[in-house]
A and B are shown apart, each in its own frame.
Chain A
Amino acid sequence: MPVDFYWRMAMEGDQPSLRRKGIVSRGGFTPGAVGGLAPGLRNGKLDGYSHVDYLAEVAKATEASGFVGALLPSFPHTDDPWAAAAALARETSTYRFMIAFQPGFLHPVQAARMTASLQLATGGRTVYNVISGGGGPQQLWWGDKVEHDDRYVRTSEFLDVLRGVWYATDHSYDHEGRFYRVRGGGLPPALAGQPFPEVFFTGSSKAAIAAAGRHADYYLSWLEPLSSLTAKFEQVREHSAGIGRSPRFAVRLDVLARETEEEAWQEVERGWVRPGPAATPAYVGLGDSVGWQRGQDLGSGGNGSRGGYRALEISPNVWGGFHVLRAGPAFGLVGDYRQVAARLDELIALGAEAFVLGGVPHLEEAYRVGAHVLPLLRGAAVR
């Protein structure tokens, strides 16, 4: 069974390393600051480069390092994945753009049109990461007032309409739903006939799983302790069996891999003891996302105390403190190259058929993981 390794695109900018928590020096997040890159300063003036120039380098590093592509995440203060994919389509040749988006912001007909255009531009390299979660004040920032559980119903209908338009010919698609109406829809010949993107579905509440079963090619989960991840996979399998589907699983996690285990933990420690706020507050606003809450609960612990970080290693190499060192979810792997590869093999044995790995900074760590970790993988046979 082939396993797809995706990397992650640094849509939120990038830190120079995990040691510099909260310092987002790449991508114009501290414009004009000395040491900022893309844009940087040249003779005291902005050098004319922008975040997309850095993203292009990350994409090319990702492509060269053995990944099939990357997740382009979406947050209120970060650049838009569709815009980035459109910009970088022609600068890559094998890189798959896994575009994170929330149904409700875009009309499904427009999503179909944008996707088909991207498929033309990339030769079929578009992948979806459909997000329904988040909520509360956060959703109203987006101008979206649909309630949490209803959002999964909308997601289902959104994907129904998107597929309906995608495969319809001769303007034959009609739809009268709760959230969307279409009459005489369908992609024009100029856009029709291309492969429909694989769907990575995100969301771990009961409502999410109820909707995911029908539309997900992959069920994408943040890394959790293996026992809870196993339970979650079981829950999804159980529900999906009822409707005759057997979704595949994908795991999203960060990796901090070094030549020796000691070196890897030293990297953690240097960030951990560095004064300054944890990186997490920048991401408060993920609202009522259950997955986010699970990660925080499982990984909550001390901050700033020397050595305290090690208490967050809840099983060998599984560390729940990444959110302190960089914005984002808590869990990831810390260890030497062989250990990290072995833990990934265990996840494969658990049923993971795709991964979204990440590391800070995304550029150099893509090269590192591609050169030192991926070659050591042995697959499910290892157990």
Chain B
Amino acid sequence: MRPEFHLTLPVEDGASVFPALPGFVTDVRPGAAGPYERLARIGRAAELAGMGGVLAPFDPAGQDSLIVAGGLLRGSRHMRVAAEFHAGIATPVYAAKLSASLQRFSGDRLDWRLAVDLDPRVARSQGDFVEGAERYARAEEFLTVARGVWHEEDYGFAGRFYEVLGGGLLFPLSGRAFPRVQLSGTSADAMALSARHADLHVFGPEDDLDAAIAELGALAAQMGRSPAYGLRLPLLAREDDDEARRDALRLWLLRSGARETFPEPERATRLWHGFGRPGLVGSYENVAAAIRGYLDRGVSAFFLEVEPHLEETYRLGEHLLPLLAKEIHNAG
């Protein structure tokens, strides 16, 4: 399967990268230098760097992923844009309709990342009181109804969460590709939902990848489906290992880590545990080799987490992705 590299966007960053000007200095920038503009530039970086896509995460502290996705799809030609949201934001009919327009506007480049497990406190602050296993039952209905109105005419559905009568997207909103569905999680409920609905299931580097892939693969095969597998992956790559280690240390100190507790990157795996979750630190060659290791284990999509986003994205495009050109372009 052809490897894909996606950039995870910083939707939570409300602050402008530029400090406010003194009051007496005329500032004509409102909107132009703000956080939305910054996202647009980072999205453009991912497109120009040849990345396969970007992910706008659902973040209650950040900007709305669907609005961000709409802007980034308009500002790009090739990359996919994934919007992460939870099922409580809208009816599945409306989510489908809005997404059909994004597909029309973008030539079918939208992905859905459905966030199912939410901290109950966060969920309630979003007006969503569905809890526990019920969230998976609702996600199942949400995706079923969304696909139903997307693909069928005179569609009817009466479930526990949703009801539709005489539904179905109308021409010309009908007939586009349904957004590629990304799901995540390792619980039994998550695996069961993915077996039925995921086009791409995203794991974390902390997960027991081989076991999880085997389990989901078997479940999905029973349904005659074969989802692709993705990986969230923080990453810091430099010309050589020493430089990468130096910048990892800088990042560690910046995040208020103490010099004495700096975790050394693992020599064999290039895994570093200082990002907050395991990620890769090393020379371009060694990081590329580690990524090839994941490819061999069945992972084909990488949701990279880098910082600062724009600069690191150009770096990836010029230094890391070329080392994986053979894998990217010659995949069967």
A side interface size, CB within 8 A = 61
B101 touches A191 (CB 8 A): no
B127 touches A109 (CB 8 A): yes
In the bound complex, what is the Cα–Cα distance between A28 and B85 (angstroms)?
A: 28
Partner of B104 from A51, A143, A180 at Cβ < 8 Å: A51
CB proximity to A under 8 Å, residues B106-142: 106-107, 121, 124-129
Tell me, rounded to whole Å, the shortest Cβ–Cβ distance linking B221 to chain A.
Answer: 33
A51 touches B14 (CB 8 A): no
Residues of chain B contacted by A175 (CB below 8 angstroms): 127
Q: Tell whether A107 pairs with B90 under 8 Å between CB atoms, given A48-B107, A182-B124.
A: yes
Cβ-closest chain A residue relative to B123: A183
In the bound complex, what is the Cα–Cα distance between A108 and B100 (angstroms)?
A: 21
A144 touches B70 (CB 8 A): no
Residues of chain B contacted by A13 (CB below 8 angstroms): 172
B64 touches A116 (CB 8 A): yes
In the bound complex, what is the Cα–Cα distance between A31 and B174 (angstroms)?
A: 12
Residues of chain B contacted by A84 (CB below 8 angstroms): 101, 105
Q: Is A82 an interface residue (CB 8 A)?
A: yes
Residues of chain A contacted by B205 (CB below 8 angstroms): none
Q: Is A86 an interface residue (CB 8 A)?
A: yes
In the bound complex, what is the Cα–Cα distance between A123 and B16 (angstroms)?
A: 14
Q: Is A364 an interface residue (CB 8 A)?
A: no
Q: Is B204 an interface residue (CB 8 A)?
A: no
Q: Is B320 an interface residue (CB 8 A)?
A: no
Q: Tell whether A117 pairs with B127 under 8 Å between CB atoms, given A28-B172, A105-B93.
A: no
B side interface size, CB within 8 A = 64
Binary interface profile of A, 48-67, with partner B (CB < 8 Å = 1, else 0)? 10111000000000000000
Binary interface profile of A, 248-291, with partner B (CB < 8 Å = 1, else 0)? 00000000000000000000000000000000000000000000
Residues of chain A contacted by B67 (CB below 8 angstroms): 82, 86, 114, 117-118, 121
Cβ-closest chain A residue relative to B58: A113
Partner of A106 from B12, B70, B94, B129 at Cβ < 8 Å: B94
In the bound complex, what is the Cα–Cα distance between A237 and B89 (angstroms)?
A: 35
Residues of chain A contacted by B23 (CB below 8 angstroms): none
Tell me, rounded to whole Å, the shortest Cβ–Cβ distance linking B148 to chain A.
Answer: 10
In the bound complex, what is the Cα–Cα distance between A181 and B173 (angstroms)?
A: 32
A110 touches B64 (CB 8 A): yes
Residues of chain B contacted by A85 (CB below 8 angstroms): 70
Cβ-closest chain A residue relative to B60: A188
Partner of A123 from B31, B100, B101, B163 at Cβ < 8 Å: B31
A117 touches B104 (CB 8 A): no
Q: Is A122 an interface residue (CB 8 A)?
A: yes
Q: Is B165 an interface residue (CB 8 A)?
A: yes
Q: Is A381 an interface residue (CB 8 A)?
A: no
Q: Tell whether A186 pairs with B91 under 8 Å between CB atoms, given A28-B172, A117-B67.
A: no
Chain A interface (Cβ < 8 Å from any Cβ of B): 13, 27-29, 31, 48, 50-52, 76-80, 82-91, 104-110, 113-114, 116-118, 120-123, 137, 140-145, 161, 171, 175, 180-186, 188-191
Contact sample, A vs B, 25 pairs, CB 8 Å cutoff: A52-B105, A83-B66, A83-B99, A86-B67, A86-B71, A87-B73, A90-B75, A91-B74, A106-B94, A107-B127, A109-B125, A109-B126, A110-B89, A117-B63, A123-B30, A123-B34, A137-B166, A140-B167, A141-B167, A142-B93, A143-B92, A188-B62, A190-B12, A190-B61, A190-B62
